[in-house]
Structure 1
């Protein structure tokens, strides 16, 4: 097991360990985006215990190489109030040429330059590159104006990426994020639907940092009812980044349909889709290029899989996060398990 997993969650449990099961489809062995063969995840966490709670998360498709410089991909902007470096070229060409790096809003541009260094080192003959970097605003808990992310932080996340269970909660790009009135962070999940008699894998990783009222299996759970003063001072928006990966053979147009459904899944957990929330999904496939795309009429299981995986990933981002006090003494509280299980007078599942 990735040692960061235990360190980041500090004993906190994933949704399934608490009996919260989303949908009927089976998960992959890790219930993570790394169940998609060749997809790696790495984190670098910057946390000084005081004013800095930020970091970098990298999703690295191992299939990208000199022999295969691009993978079919698409981007969907549910609300474009954000910075997603490299997105217009993905829209234009339907191709992902780099790992996907996630970080804090004001560090996105330094991260893009660092990712460019990584790409140039691996393709010394290349003349043009399209680094892809997304962000959410962790300024509620972290001193975002200090822009503490360096090139080495990004390179460490990229080079340390592994196929094991990714750390979740307060780690990497999720170190300082909040969602739905609680402390949130990074979350991941996967599904293995059967399409035309054969299983395929769909995985999702989220950087959760958005507003709304937490909803678990259809039950609204307002932060103010679960934690005294919960969510009162936290920002209403601030965005969500979703990375969806699959080994199903899909073309860029179909991946755009997949990315849209990834954003739709935010509504299941109570997202408000507010004015200031930059909500983006990037979807790509690692399927061998010689395989023809699935017929559109066969995509329903893949669509169901991505919505379930994103919903569970978002819940995992909250369930595994820990209470954090950051810049200006602001505190974001972890989701209290006892209130979810009905051991008190509050809402329960």
Structure 2
């Protein structure tokens, strides 16, 4: 998607980072510049904006459209700072595979989302005798804009996201599990990007999706945007600033990788976050899950091809670049969100980054036109 809803700052239409001339890295994006450029990957989202208080949602990622419990995909996990509630993490690490979709919600909705993922998995044809499901549910805390104690996510919302998951363009910004999130002092949200390797390096595609809700000093393709626009962590050296929060990163690739190399790949997501100026603060939960869709590495299997270690470096670079751009898209596509504090009833606002000011800044610093 190259466009979006109205920007409350200046009335301009939202756009993706590339339309502003931001093109992180050296590898080209896929056709959609989204995680769904990896063939077979499906994304579904439900956005909940109800009354004055509820600003939340669900984002579901399905590695393929079949029975994932019967055709599991290898996966790896990386954790930079473990201040979070990533359900299913220990079994994912132990067995190195996904047997359920990945669902992203807010912190206090993890339990309900797990129940829904279990219900959905048990209902799949062929799973009538299944007695255990490792539901993988990630979260960030959207309580700055959403009345999180109401736990506005119902099981039906998670099921709708799973059933509605499709290939094709992925909605970004203030949607799904990113509806109420903030990043770097501005409105954050869902962002996605992809990279294609040349045939000489394997010809693989790698896609990233992020739920951005963290802080630091925002960098955009090397430009010190946070400092220039006056919003960054430790700005006054006495204020905790906009560093606490969390981020969930999901990486998908069609490269035939083992769970071991997928864990190595997931770790590179943290380098992509670092390129955006992430503070990785004490109160931040920074998680990345990487999985492979290659048919030859699906479980169960006796043996499988594994891309050699010495040829992993281009995929590492692709992961770093795609994560960086996905975060930028989550910011530039986000729209301003308003709500009320449930205790004080005061108005709250998550202000979208001003694209007009951003364009002027980038033009003054030599960024190419979009």
TM-score w.r.t. the length of structure 1 is 0.92
Q: Does 1:210 align with 2:214?
A: yes
CA distance 1:116–1:104, change in 2 (3 Å): same
CA distance in 2, matches of 1:343, 1:102: 33
- What displacement does 1:234 show? 6.7
Find the partner of 2:291 among 280, 284, 290. 284
Post-superposition Cα deviations, 1:20-50, rounded to whole Å, max 9, x if no partner, equal 1111211111000000011000100001252
Matched with 2:35 is 33
Post-superposition Cα deviations, 1:128-165, rounded to whole Å, max 9, x if no partner, equal 11010000000000000000110100000000011010
Matched with 2:255 is 248
- What displacement does 1:16 show? 0.5
CA distance in 2, matches of 1:293, 1:141: 44
Superposed structure 1 runs of 4+ greater than 2 Å apart: 5-11, 66-69, 194-198, 222-227, 231-236, 343-349
CA distance in 1, matches of 2:55, 2:68: 36
**2:244–2:283 Cα contact (<8 Å) kept:** yes
Equivalent residue runs for 1:125-144 within 5 Å? 125-144=129-148
- What displacement does 1:106 show? 0.3
Matched with 2:154 is 150
195-204 or 71-80, which deviates more:
195-204
CA distance 1:235–1:68, change in 2 (3 Å): same
**1:178–1:208 Cα contact (<8 Å) kept:** yes
Matched with 2:169 is 165
Matched with 1:268 is 275
Matched with 2:308 is 295
Question: 3-state DSSP class of the match of 2:28?
Answer: coil
Q: Does 1:193 align with 2:189?
A: no
Q: Does 1:321 align with 2:328?
A: no
CA distance 1:255–1:58, change in 2 (3 Å): same
**2:197–2:203 Cα contact (<8 Å) kept:** yes
- What displacement does 1:289 show? 2.3
28-37 or 55-64, which deviates more:
55-64
CA distance in 2, matches of 1:174, 1:67: 27
CA distance 1:343–1:27, change in 2 (3 Å): closer
CA distance in 2, matches of 1:190, 1:52: 31
Question: 3-state DSSP class of the match of 2:23?
Answer: coil
CA distance 1:87–1:129, change in 2 (3 Å): same
CA distance 1:126–1:238, change in 2 (3 Å): same
Count how many residue pairs are aligned between Structure 1 and Structure 2.
344
Question: 3-state DSSP class of the match of 2:25?
Answer: coil
Q: In structure 2, list runs of 5 or more residues that go unmatched.
A: 298-303, 342-346
- What displacement does 1:225 show? 2.7
TM-score w.r.t. the length of structure 2 is 0.87
**1:187–1:315 Cα contact (<8 Å) kept:** yes
CA distance in 2, matches of 1:348, 1:144: 42
- What displacement does 1:339 show? 1.7
CA distance 1:57–1:220, change in 2 (3 Å): same
Question: 3-state DSSP class of the match of 2:296?
Answer: coil
Question: 3-state DSSP class of the match of 2:123?
Answer: helix
Find the partner of 1:59 among 50, 58, 61. 61
CA distance in 1, matches of 2:157, 2:45: 9
CA distance in 1, matches of 2:15, 2:167: 21
CA distance in 2, matches of 1:267, 1:66: 32
CA distance in 1, matches of 2:69, 2:336: 45
Post-superposition Cα deviations, 1:195-229, rounded to whole Å, max 9, x if no partner, equal 645410000000000010111122212278357xx
- What displacement does 1:90 show? 0.6
Post-superposition Cα deviations, 1:239-261, rounded to whole Å, max 9, x if no partner, equal 00000000001101100000000
CA distance in 1, matches of 2:145, 2:53: 7
Question: 3-state DSSP class of the match of 2:32?
Answer: coil
